[in-house]
Amino acid sequence: MKIFKHLASMLMALSLLGLAACMPVQEKFNNTDLTGLDYAKDFALTDHNGKPRTLADFKGKAVVIFFGYTQCPDVCPTTMAEMASVMKLLGSDADKVQVLFVTLDPERDTQALLASYVPNFDKRFLGLYGDAAATAKVAKEFKVFYQKVAGKTPGSYTVDHTAGSYVFDPQGRIRLFLRHGQGAEPVAHDLKILLK
């Protein structure tokens, strides 16, 4: 009787292993999975070419949205350079990704300044801006923190802000939060999963 129980247990274990071998392996994201999140649904801003933009304009592409400002001394240029490296790692898949830089400093970040700053990292990148009210609205929708920090002169302030980026899949659904400063490879890995 004991032998039959043992044999039955072994057969059950083998059949479960067989089933597991037939199931596709689910790839895991390196970054924070936000699938099903109930905020960060849309924005209404203007791109650095003067064209009004919403998230729907980029349907069919994975979208990476980073909030920053052009006079940022460290986090912003580092993030943008990292995203340029991600695009290189993606190869031909890079054309299926849209990187958006949303300014949190509409006072100083004019359309012309964004048009010269953002494409310097990659010509496909777009800078987005709005007035103070539109900026506050989109920051609230995305739960992005930002705050002016006074400098020695009125125009020399800095802006403290959230350092991560949001990623939407090609269907326009929020999927990931990217941590700042992790390097290009983990981001490229996650974008490749979303583009499958």
Strand, helix or coil at 126?
A: strand
126-129 and 97-103 as β-strands: parallel, antiparallel, unpaired?
parallel
Cα angle 187-190-196, degrees, rounded to a multiple of 5: 140
Residue 72 known to bind ligand? yes
Residue type, 15: S
Residue 22 known to bind ligand? no
Dihedral over alpha carbons 114, 119, 125, 131 (to 10 degrees):
0
Query: In 3D, which of 161, 178, 177 has the Cα closest to residue 74?
Result: 161
Query: Residue 103: which region, alpha, beta or left (left: phi > 0; alpha: psi -120 to 50)?
Result: beta
Binding site feature residues: 72, 76, 161
Instruction: Detail the residues annotated as belonging to a binding site for Cu cation.
Output: 72, 76, 161
